[in-house]
Amino acid sequence: MHILNIDNLLINHAGREIFRDLSWAISDRERTGLVGPNGAGKSSLLKAIAGVYQPDGGTINPLRGVRVGYLPQEVELRSQPSPPHTLSLRVRENQSQIEGTSESPIESELESGNTLWDIASAPPPELAAVEHELVLIEAALSDPAVYGDEGKLTRTLARQEKAVAEYERLGGPRHEARVKELLMRLGFAAGDYDLPTESLSGGEKKLAVLVRLALEQPEVLLLDEPDNHLDLEAKRHLEGFIRAYEGAVVIVSHDRYLLDEVVTQIAELENGALTLFPGNYSRYATEVELRRLRQQQMYTAQQKRIQQIEANIKEWQEKAKADLNERFARQARSRQKMLDRMEERGEIIERVQERKRMDLQMNGWRGSNRALELAGLTMGFGDDLLFLDLNLQVWHGERVGLIGPNGAGKSVLFKLILDEMQPLEGQIKIGPSSRIGYYSQEHQTLAEWLHRSPLELVRDVKPMHEGDAVAFLLKFLFKYDQLRLPISGFSGGERSRLQLACLMLQNPNLLLLDEPTNNLDIYAVEVLESALEDFEGAILTISHDRYFLDRVVDRVVELEDGGLTGYPGGYTEYLNHKDKKKTKAKN
């Protein structure tokens, strides 16, 4: 059953049309993965449905009583207290316009000085209003002017009875238990409840907000990249939450593994058009490729037929001129009319337009047989020991995935390899013929260039003529007018592509990649994966992208509880090994 209809939606931003005439029907209990290249308008579409953006045209029509909850892409801390806001957006009954239930339609900030429990357990607005009403009634009942007046007392008790009934209807008595249940389902333990807001990671902040959002149980839940900044275990908890949610879910995510696990359909938003595909991401990717191949075959066959007809027309026209034969002229006109009608009726099959992708080529070269060795490595800060006696060898041609929970020390290990930190004990040996190329998760490699331009950066990495630098950067999907702008104004995805461009110019044969798929859209990640498949050299990559790990690495090493454990294969094989270990431990 369709519970929310979008008809002929139009949205413009700064004079640029994001999409027009976009229509979509969201069904109850459906799990939809909204995918498309960066800039296609995925977040804009979610915000329009949530009422954050007022569309320039079209309508959004939910069924009566259907509420919409929205989790924004980023949740930040604010130090100054401000009026409370609701984290979910609600559809007002008898109206097609979606409006927020508070003055601010979107909560993208959390108050500092609170705890995880404070954030997660804040009651929904309706419940908070009833709780406030009960407090006022309790105060009134202790007032002599009320309990000494039979009429006032009767009215106050009736008011209390009504408020208690409403409190129970809204789940007030079960509120605390539901908060604990939701926190547990999303991977939090009771010992985490008192964690201050400031100590929560970006991913944990979003999960805490998600708990508060889920307490209102909106019929449509919109999630904009909810898996950002989450480690592998947290992603598995999130997947379980989405699968069990009793309502429709629309999720924007670049995590193809997550999309495979939870969605029932893919909505592809590209070039202003929305196309629906039943099934998960892998099924969508296969169907898109099959459609592309079918269209190309049909285009080739039709073009061959059109060329034959055009050749016949030309031949008959020449015969008509030479012999002055009207029969040949009629045949030529008849065939020309047939071609014209095909064009008028839209029967001409278009050539397959290949999606524009960045031209990333990581060639590498033959270097030391042992590209990298860690021997007895120990590291900590003060009294906190991160890891103890780590040993690891990475050989030429190997692709090793480094995984582990947030805070285990993965990025610190990279800093040690790069000689940016010194270990407490142990040795790090880089192969004598190894040249390191480093991709930084937070784009630190671009830090000193933020006020310079991409043109200046690439010409510094590898001297070249300006024209060659321009041509090179255009292959990484930068616009010409961006090339002389300061990098500080670039988006996360643009900075990621710029880092990859610099890696390509450096021509390394040992890659240290720290979350290389963050900020890239799915299509850019697929290009990266293909480039790494062709790379001649060794790769050590930190990643929480399970699809990427399955495609790229042939060995997983897990950094957990201060030690390293190796597993052959990609993420799926690693997961199978872990599950077998758990089964043996139970038995």
Report pLDDT digits (tens) over 345-393: 888 888 877 778 899 999 999 888 999 999 999 999 988 899 999 999 9
Quick check: 249 and 223 in contact, CB under 8 A?
yes
- 476 Cβ neighbours under 8 A, 6+ residues apart: 358, 359, 360, 497, 498, 500, 501
Given a cut of 50, is residue 206 above it in pLDDT?
yes
Report how far residue 22's alpha carbon sits from residue 57's, in angstroms, rounded to the nearest whole number.
Answer: 10
Identify the bridge partners of residue 556 per DSSP, sorted by sequence position. 401, 567
Quick check: 255 and 515 in contact, CB under 8 A?
no
DSSP summary character for residue 229: T
Given a cut of 50, is residue 105 above it in pLDDT?
no
Quick check: 371 and 538 in contact, CB under 8 A?
yes
**Phi–psi pair at 486, nearest 5 degrees:** -65, 140
Say if strands 31-35 and 265-270 run parallel, antiparallel, or are unpaired: parallel
Q: What is the pLDDT of residue 198?
A: 84
Tokens of 244: 């069990």
Q: What is the pLDDT of residue 94?
A: 35
Local confidence band at 58 (pLDDT 50, 70, 90 cut-offs): very high
Local confidence band at 122 (pLDDT 50, 70, 90 cut-offs): confident
Q: What is the pLDDT of residue 85?
A: 38
Tokens of 214: 């889920």
Q: What is the pLDDT of residue 88?
A: 39
The stretch 452-465 carries a mean pLDDT of 94
∠ CA 453-454-460 to the nearest 5 degrees? 95
For residue range 486-537, list pLDDT tens digits in order.
Answer: 999 888 889 999 999 999 999 999 999 999 998 898 989 999 999 999 999 9
Quick check: 28 and 247 in contact, CB under 8 A?
yes
Given a cut of 80, is residue 411 above it in pLDDT?
yes
Q: What is the pLDDT of residue 77?
A: 65
Report how far residue 495's alpha carbon sits from residue 359's, in angstroms, rounded to the nearest whole number.
Answer: 16
CA atoms in the 13 A half-sphere facing the CB of 330: 3
- 587 Cβ neighbours under 8 A, 6+ residues apart: none
* Full-model pTM: 0.82
Which of 360, 286, 357, 284 is CA-nearest to residue 516?
Answer: 360
Residue labelled with tokens 């290990």:
413
SS3 state of residue 76: strand
Report how far residue 133's alpha carbon sits from residue 145's, in angstroms, rounded to the nearest whole number.
Answer: 19
Tokens of 120: 């997660």
Given a cut of 80, is residue 325 above it in pLDDT?
no
CB atoms within 10 A of CB 75: 23
Identify the bridge partners of residue 436 per DSSP, sorted by sequence position. 510
Percent of the chain with pLDDT over 90: 56
Which of 46, 182, 74 is CA-nearest to residue 122?
Answer: 182
Given a cut of 70, is residue 80 above it in pLDDT?
no
- 460 Cβ neighbours under 8 A, 6+ residues apart: none
Q: What is the pLDDT of residue 444?
A: 83
DSSP summary character for residue 95: -
Given a cut of 60, is residue 439 above it in pLDDT?
yes
For residue range 209-241, list pLDDT tens digits in order.
Answer: 899 889 888 999 999 999 988 889 899 999 999
Given a cut of 70, is residue 86 above it in pLDDT?
no
- 312 Cβ neighbours under 8 A, 6+ residues apart: 331, 332, 335
Q: What is the pLDDT of residue 39?
A: 81
Percent of the chain with pLDDT over 70: 94
Say if strands 384-395 and 370-381 run parallel, antiparallel, or are unpaired: antiparallel
For residue range 9-20, list pLDDT tens digits in order.
Answer: 999 877 788 888
The stretch 266-273 carries a mean pLDDT of 92
CA distances to 327, 398, 567 from 533, in Å? 62, 11, 20
Comparing 142 with 106, the larger pLDDT belongs to: 142
Q: What is the pLDDT of residue 250?
A: 97
- Alpha helices, H only, 263-386: 281-323, 326-344
Q: What is the pLDDT of residue 285?
A: 92
The stretch 277-298 carries a mean pLDDT of 92
Q: What is the pLDDT of residue 104?
A: 35
DSSP summary character for residue 8: E
Q: What is the pLDDT of residue 230?
A: 87
Given a cut of 60, is residue 186 above it in pLDDT?
yes
Given a cut of 80, is residue 78 above it in pLDDT?
no
For residue range 332-344, list pLDDT tens digits in order.
Answer: 888 888 888 888 8
Which of 432, 403, 396 is CA-nearest to residue 539?
Answer: 396
DSSP letters spanning 107-176: --EEETT-BHHHHHHPPPHHHHHHHHHHHHHHHHHT-HHHHT-HHHHHHHHHHHHHHHHHHHHTTGGGHH
